[in-house]
Amino acid sequence: MSESDADLLHETIRQFRWAANYVVLNARNDDGYVETRKGKLNSQTYDNVRSETELHSNLVQAARSRAADALKSVVAKWKRGKNASLPYFSSPFLEYDQRSATFHDDHASLSTVDGRITADYVLPDDERKTPHSEYLFSDDYETTGATLHYRDATDEFYLHVRTKADVDAPEPRENGTVLGVDLGVENIAVTSTGVFWSASEFDHWHREYEKRRASLQQCGSRDAHENMQAVGLKETGRFEQLLHRVSNELVEEADENGCSHIAFEELTDIRDRMPGAKRLHAWAFRRLFSYVEYKAEERGISVQQVNPANTSRRCSSCGFTHEDNRPSQDTFECLKCSYANHADYNAAKNIGYRLLGKQTAGEGGAPVGVRLNTGMMNANGVKAVPTLVRAGVHGECHGL
Ligand SMILES: [Zn+2]
Q: What is the pLDDT of residues 300-327, one digit of tens each?
A: 899 999 999 999 999 999 999 999 999 9
Distance 394 CA to ligand 1 centre (A): 21
**370-388 burial by CB neighbour count: b if 16+ within 10 A, else e?**
bbbbbebbbeeeeeeeebe
> pLDDT-based confidence at 385, cuts 50/70/90?
very low
pLDDT of residue 389: 30
CA of 260 to the centre of ligand 1 (A): 27
Question: Mean of the pLDDT values across residues 272-276?
Answer: 87
CB count within 10 Å of CB 203 equals: 13
Q: Does pLDDT of 16 surpass 50?
A: yes
Cα 329 to middle of ligand 1, angstroms: 17
Contacts of 327 (CB under 8 A, 6+ apart): 333
Ligand 1 centre distance from Cα of residue 333 (Å): 8
Could you tell me how many helices (H) and strands (E) the chain has, helices first? 9, 15
Can you give the pTM of this predicted structure? 0.54
User: What span, in angstroms and rounded, lies between the C-alpha atoms of 127 and 322?
Assistant: 62
Rounded Cα distance, 250 and 253, in Å: 5
Mapped onto helix, strand or coil, the DSSP state of residue 281 is helix
Compare 298 and 336 and report the one with higher pLDDT: 336
- φ/ψ bin of 64: left (φ > 0), alpha (ψ from -120 to 50), beta (otherwise): alpha
How far apart, in Å, do the first and last CA atoms of the chain sit? 73
Ligand 1 midpoint to CA 398 (Å): 13
Distance (angstroms) between ligand 1 centre and the Cα of 354 equals 16
Q: 153 and 136 in contact (C-beta within 8 Å)? A: no
| Contact criterion met (CB below 8 Å) for 76 and 82 | no
Contacts of 289 (CB under 8 A, 6+ apart): 264, 267, 303, 305
The per-residue pLDDT of the chain, averaged, comes to 82
DSSP structural state of residue 325: G
Strand pairing partners for 156?
A: 151
Q: With H, G, I as helix, E, B as strand and everything else as coil, classify residue 69.
A: helix
Instruction: Categorize the per-residue pLDDT at 51 as very low, low, confident or very high, splitting at 50, 70 and 90.
Output: very high
Cα of 359 from ligand 1 centre, angstroms: 23
Burial 74-92 (b: 16+ CB within 10 A, else e): bbeeeeeeeeeeebebeeb
Residues 376/385, Cβ–Cβ less than 8 Å: yes
Torsion angles phi and psi, residue 148, rounded to 5: -95, 125
Question: Mean per-residue pLDDT for 336-363?
Answer: 83
CA of 259 to the centre of ligand 1 (A): 25
Q: By mean pLDDT, which of 171-175, 239-243, 258-262 is the weakest? A: 171-175
pLDDT, residue 187, reads 93
More confident residue, 131 or 41: 41
In this predicted structure, what is the pLDDT of residue 396? 34
Distance 339 CA to ligand 1 centre (A): 5
Of all residues in the chain, the percent with pLDDT exceeding 90 is 44
DSSP 211-233: HHHHHHHHH--TTHHHHHHHHHH
Given a contact cutoff of 8 angstroms between Cβ atoms, the answer to whether 74 and 134 are in contact is no
Which one is predicted more confidently, 227 or 399? 227
CB-based contact 217:228 (threshold 8 Å): yes
Q: Is the pLDDT of residue 380 over 60?
A: no
Ligand 1 centroid from CA 126, angstroms: 64
pLDDT for the residue 395: 29
Phi and psi at residue 321, to the nearest 5° = -115, 120
